[in-house]
Amino acid sequence: MSTLPIRTFGDPVLNQMTTDLDEIDAKVAALAASMIETMYEAPGVGLAANQIGVQKRLFVYDAGDGPFVVVNPRIIETSGEWVFEEGCLSVPGLSWEIVRPNAVHLVGRDLDGNELDIEADEYLGRIFQHEVDHLDGHLLIDRLDDDQRKAAKRTLRKMRISLSPQDPDGLHQLLGE
């Protein structure tokens, strides 16, 4: 096992849709193990595969009693509304109060191929929505309201040189410029 570099905003892999894993084999298990190690080292409570540059539908999380792995996750139902201050390992050092549904119904598979069917709300529900968003190519910045977005753009512009020197174009795109 080893840790992997986490991609930060401006990197185009974060804006691309991931694809389902057809087979859950030893390679997937090894990838998940590295992702868990990377998540703990960061430290964070969730990590999606495309955050380490792998365009596959897989995330790991630990809301306090994990770690857990979800392969091919999908949210099939949401309800309610909840405001929570959310951060992201790919947008380091920043956080915003974001409104999302409170409760979600997540389906997917574990590393043994067993079907997962989990209803979660509040903190865990938020982790699931954040990670599934990653796998669909969305960052939390996509969930900001208009005022938050304006402020975020100013902050991100100031930070761009230190955060994403390798991909200024991707960042322009993210900022809608």
Residues of the shown chain interacting with Zn ion in the complex, contacts defined by CB under 5 A: 88
Q: Give the nearer residue to Zn ion in terms of CB position, either 24 or 44.
A: 44
Rounded least distance, CB 26 to Zn ion, Å: 27
Q: Give the nearer residue to Zn ion in terms of CB position, either 39 or 88.
A: 88
Rounded least distance, CB 17 to Zn ion, Å: 16
Please choose, from the candidates 95, 101, 64, the residue with its C-alpha nearest in 3D space to the C-alpha of residue 83: 101
Rounded least distance, CB 92 to Zn ion, Å: 10
Q: Which of 77, 86, 119, 131 is catalytic?
A: 131
- Is 131 catalytic? The answer is yes
Residue nearest to Zn ion (CB): 88
Contact of 111 with 71, CB cutoff 8 Å: yes
Rounded least distance, CB 88 to Zn ion, Å: 3
Please choose, from the candidates 163, 78, 73, the residue with its C-alpha nearest in 3D space to the C-alpha of residue 122: 78
Q: Residues of 71-96 as b/e, b for ≥16 C-beta within 10 angstroms?
A: bbbebeebeeebebebbbbbbeebeb
d(CA 94, CA 106): 27
Q: Give the nearer residue to Zn ion in terms of CB position, either 88 or 98.
A: 88
Q: Give the nearer residue to Zn ion in terms of CB position, either 6 or 24.
A: 6
Contact of 142 with 133, CB cutoff 8 Å: yes
Tell me the two tokens of residue 26.
């030893």
Contact of 77 with 115, CB cutoff 8 Å: no
Catalytic center residues = 131
